[in-house]
A and B are shown apart, each in its own frame.
Chain A
Amino acid sequence: MNQPSSKDRTPILRIERFQNWLRFIRYEPIALVAAIVTVLLTYLVLAPVGSMLVDTVRVQIRDSATTGLEVGSYTTYFLHRVFVSRVSDRLFWTPLARTLIIASVVTLAALPFGAFLAWLTVRTDLPGKKILSSAMVIPYMLPSWTFAVAWLNIMKNRRLGGLPSIAESFGFSPPDWLAYGAFPIIVCQALHLFPFAYLLFGNALRSVDSQMEDSARILGAQKGVIARRIILPLLKPALLSAFLLTFSRVLGSFGTPYILGSPVRYLLLPTALYSSFQVGTPGVSAVIASVTILLGMSLIALDMYFVREYRRFVTVGGKGSMSRLSALGKWKWPAIIFAGLAFIITTIIPLVTIILTSIMYRPGVFSLSNFTLDFWFGRYISIMPGQQGLFLNQSIIAAAWNSFRIAGAAAVICGITGLFVGYVVVKMPNSKTSAFLRQVSFLPYLVPSIGFAAACLSFFAVRRGPVPSLYGTLTLLIIVMSIKYLPFASRSGISAMMQMGNEPEEAARVAGASWGKRMSRIVIPIQKHALITAIMLPFISGMKEQSLVIMLATPGTEVMTTQILRFIEYGFSQLANATVLAIVVIIFFVTFLMERITGSNLASGFSRS
């Protein structure tokens, strides 16, 4: 203790430096913003996730009931059970292998499909591409299980009994591999998730300046070289983001693999997790969830590995840019047919199926007397005592308002936070903070809703310092939903900020603009479209969210998805379908309104168009 510490020596200097720093921060408050965002995310994301991780080794009450271990004690039992026990093959290893394969195949299918459609709508003279570009987002607006249910309606065979499927009524009995298990899971997931790729590639393509291609061409580059050396590197951020979002979504989605897998008992990781939670071993589901999280984090590490390269490809500079359309020429008709088919398969068929089932007493019976509008406008519905049609049904209307309020508020919070995350990540590219934010802001995407919600319940049910107990308030739902869907917003924020060069902000700084002014007059206007995407994607997901709401909504705050569950339980499938449709219509209407007001569209969110 005899060495003089720097503190003793220079107290005055320190204060001065601090004052200097305060002065500096008014102009360059990046560190402050970083600190605030970091603390916020640590508190809101890491704490609940951490408490869930602890459950992998700590015995909860429900675990104690099945295992006989003492509540609150620490154990390796769950790890043991998942990784090396008699059942670990069935419970974990096989589902893990299947899940990884399926996620890879889905990604491999969805990415090129989405990218190609994006190219068609952004960079070619394809007729009708305006309609196409709005419609291609619809598959993502549908709850994911609607594809699975539609698949069963079309393809199921006698194994599941019941009314004949459409294939069967045409005299074709689909074999089991076509009706259930891996194949349909892949198809349905790919159809549901390709909009990620579509949106991200669309935005990236839009911001690629045609002048770069021109310059290359003038310098004598071949078409192949231009594609390989110019276009592809520019699309890399979009590619990585699309890969990340699609792949991790397959890791975590329960509905589709459950509906299509259970007829042949084809267990995937999310199904195994859900089942463990349901039968009362939350410890085991926490272990499986942690594996999912680890997988996802390694994907982000991969993503970060490429981050430095992005920096070199700023596409939104201070100069003008132009975007030229390629003429399709002789490929016009094949392209039209391809786009038309994509439109029909991904959008029209699911929508028509849902509409039809909401206006027929008995599904599949095409006689005039079987059609009715009662499920929409009826005061009394003969086959559903006590229910009114959608427009007169007070509980649906109340639920719609709740859904809208919760998802809307969460989406706005997400969007703004996401933009700041993006700002910090990009402005401090090599710092630990940047890496930390990238990882943490993506975490909630990887955590299964049900476990996350349970953890949040415990965490927010008590007062912590200045933060009052939030459980039982609408605020909690909004906060938790903002956390859960922050990844969309932060990805969008990061991608968008990545493409924006320093020039615009630097110019303003030279002119003496303060940070607040630079943000509000330069950065946010430039990133308006990204902000819209960062708000709309969480909004869409929030409107469809079920598990979070079930755990955290205080009774009475029914939302549309819980209404759907209730209708399905009663066998009121027509009302359930009408409600699904209402969700889609609300989302579509809000999206449309946003586009009109801001003059952008969802498909152009990640950049300036």
Chain B
Amino acid sequence: MKKLIVLLLVCTLALPLFAGGQRDAAPAPAAPVVEEEFDLEALIEAAQAEGELVAYFTSGRIDAVGNLFEEKYGIRVRGTKMGDPEQAERVIREVDAGNVQVDVIGFEDGPLLETQLIPRGYVQSWVPPDLKDVISEEDQNPLVFLWQPRIFGYNGEVYADGSPVNNVWELTEPQWKGKILIRDPGLTPAHLGFFASMITNHQMLEQAYVDLYGRQLVTNEENAGWEFLKRLFQNDIISFRSDSDVGDAVGSAGQTDPPVGFYVLTKHRDNAAKNLSLTTMQGLQPFMGYALPTYALIVKDAPNPNAAKLFVHFILTEGHYPWTGRDIGAFSSNRTIPPHPLNEGTWDEWTQKLLPVDNVQAMRMRQDIMDFWLEYGAN
């Protein structure tokens, strides 16, 4: 009985601990957001009046960019490399709790962004008005700051005479069984978008089939896209943890019968450092891979909204160097920034060879494709 009384007492005292939870009194009003008439100087001034900027980015280069930003504006950037799912969970939960810590994110899961995060107001896409003319219309909503080709590549040391694969249907043939490496689709939402795009663009695959084999494809699946995916998955494709691991496995020197792989073009920077022979499958029909965007977004109720804007402005201008100048493989959405000389062409040229991903469509099909992967890809 005594125990019970004490327990009851303690429980009553503790009740508010479990109750809905109160938000702290509204934080000091943030500095007014600079809008309308864009004045970079005013933005800089407002940004410098704020605190340290917090950024979650999918790319580890956020560190280098942060240092450049601090050098230039004296604003410290606390950048963390973080995957899309963690970023999404954190932003959603921070905003819901009314305790936002992060200002700006660099995010790759376009489908989630366009169907949920932006419509629900968790993040906001902001295009610096003075850059509106140098960024293509389609990169502005939501704002893309970085484009990367994610492509098929092979070992150029072994296949010195050129790509061993010229048509994606060849990848479904027995000679490539167990020799196609890819970052685990079960961990890579962007790949699911690529697969969705194959299905919506199934005519391309149908035509490619005719081009290769000289006859029409016969399939029980809904269309050539599903059929291609099924055959690809069933050809014992091998999942890796990261594009780096794929690149290393495909490109390492001294192999006799190397696999082919699917990875971001940026991995070609390792050719020198790790003595790899990664080579792109230029001319692969009907596509070489897909266009992978990275979006820059400002989080709702960001504690440092002006610094966030200035940072977005920065990564679209000189702050782009660590991504596009130092290493190869990425393209700024700011068209006045020239591509790296080793990028094998301009972004416009690349887009001709890559499948675009329709974010809304990709999200609609994500679950079905995931199931398809589980059914034919898992063991």
Contact = CB atoms under 8 A, between A and B. Distances in A.
Contact of A469 (B99, B178, B241): B99
A308 interface: no
A31 B3 contact: yes
B6 A467 contact: no
A472 B80 contact: no
B187 interface: yes
A270 to B, nearest CB: 13
A502 to B, nearest CB: 20
Nearest to B7: A35
A43 interface: yes
B21 A462 contact: yes
Interface in A498-514: none
Given A458-B93, A464-B16, A472 B239 contact: no
B102 A555 contact: yes
Contact of A279 (B16, B79, B179, B187): B187
B305 to A, nearest CB: 17
Given A159-B178, A462-B99, A555-B55, A32 B11 contact: no
Nearest to B82: A550
Of listed B10, B16, B370, residue having the most chain A CB within 10 A: B370
A457 interface: yes
Interface string A39-70: 10001000100000000000011101111100
Interface in A312-345: none
Nearest to A91: B374
B16 A469 contact: no
A258 B241 contact: yes
Given A35-B7, A161-B181, A566-B81, A461 B99 contact: yes
Contact of B22 (A62, A362, A454, A462): A462
A279 B23 contact: no
Interface in A342-371: 362
Nearest to B76: A556
Most buried by A among B22, B186, B192, B240: B186
User: Which interface class (under 10, 10 to 19, 20 to 34, 35 or more) fits A?
Assistant: 35 or more
B16 A466 contact: yes
Contact of B19 (A158, A259, A457, A465): A465
Contact of B96 (A279, A458, A558, A568): A458
Interface in B83-115: 83, 85-86, 88-90, 92-94, 96-99, 101-102, 109, 111-112, 115
Nearest to B79: A555
A554 B143 CA distance: 25
Interface in B324-379: 326, 363-364, 366-367, 370-371, 374-375, 377-379
Contacts of B17: 43, 464-467
A566 B59 CA distance: 9
A551 B89 contact: yes
Which of A61, A266, A383, A458 gathers the greatest number of chain B CB atoms within 10 Å? Answer: A61
B6 A35 contact: yes
A162 B249 contact: yes
A208 to B, nearest CB: 36
Interface stretch (B129-137, B207-215, B269-277): B269-277
B257 interface: yes
A570 B60 contact: yes
A164 interface: yes
Contact of B116 (A64, A467, A569): A64
A461 B93 contact: yes
B227 interface: no
B229 to A, nearest CB: 15
Interface residues of B, number: 92
A86 interface: yes
A263 B254 contact: no
Interface in B291-350: 326
B22 A464 contact: yes
A160 B238 contact: yes
A66 B24 contact: no
A277 interface: yes
Interface in A379-409: 383, 385-386
B374 A87 contact: yes
Interface string A435-468: 0000000000000000000100111011111111
B23 to A, nearest CB: 6
A378 interface: no
A279 B190 CA distance: 9
B293 to A, nearest CB: 17
A210 interface: no
B250 interface: yes
Interface in B1-43: 2-3, 5-7, 10-11, 14-19, 21-24
B289 interface: no
Contacts of B364: 68
B258 interface: yes
A471 B303 CA distance: 14
A362 B274 contact: yes
Contacts of B49: none
B85 A278 contact: yes
B90 A457 contact: yes
Contacts of A67: 367
A383 B273 contact: yes
B370 A471 contact: no
A205 interface: no
Contacts of B81: 565-566, 569
B142 to A, nearest CB: 15
A570 B274 CA distance: 12
Contacts of B206: none
A18 interface: yes
B149 interface: no
B363 A555 contact: no
A568 B241 CA distance: 11
B54 interface: yes
A278 B189 contact: yes
A306 to B, nearest CB: 26
A566 B5 contact: no
A75 interface: no
Contacts of B186: 275, 278-279
Contacts of A47: 18
A161 B23 CA distance: 54
Given A162-B248, A163-B252, A471-B94, A463 B24 contact: yes
A161 B258 CA distance: 6
A262 interface: yes
A555 B378 contact: no
B24 A469 contact: yes
A277 B378 CA distance: 17
Contact of B250 (A161, A464, A465, A468): A161
B217 interface: no
A280 interface: yes
A267 interface: yes
Contacts of B88: 61-62, 280
A264 interface: yes
Contacts of A472: 99, 101
Contacts of B181: 160-161
Interface of B: 2-3, 5-7, 10-11, 14-19, 21-24, 52, 54-56, 60, 63-64, 78-83, 85-86, 88-90, 92-94, 96-99, 101-102, 109, 111-112, 115-117, 120, 178-179, 181, 184, 186-189, 192, 238-242, 244, 248-250, 252, 254-255, 257-259, 261, 270, 273-275, 326, 363-364, 366-367, 370-371, 374-375, 377-379
20 contacts: A43-B18, A61-B88, A61-B92, A67-B367, A86-B375, A91-B374, A265-B239, A266-B379, A275-B186, A275-B187, A362-B275, A462-B24, A462-B97, A462-B98, A463-B21, A464-B22, A466-B17, A568-B244, A571-B248, A571-B270
Given A35-B6, A556-B78, 6 more contacts: A162-B255, A457-B93, A463-B22, A464-B18, A566-B63, A569-B60
Smallest CB-CB A-B distances: 7 pairs: A465-B16, A461-B97, A161-B249, A462-B21, A556-B78, A275-B186, A162-B249
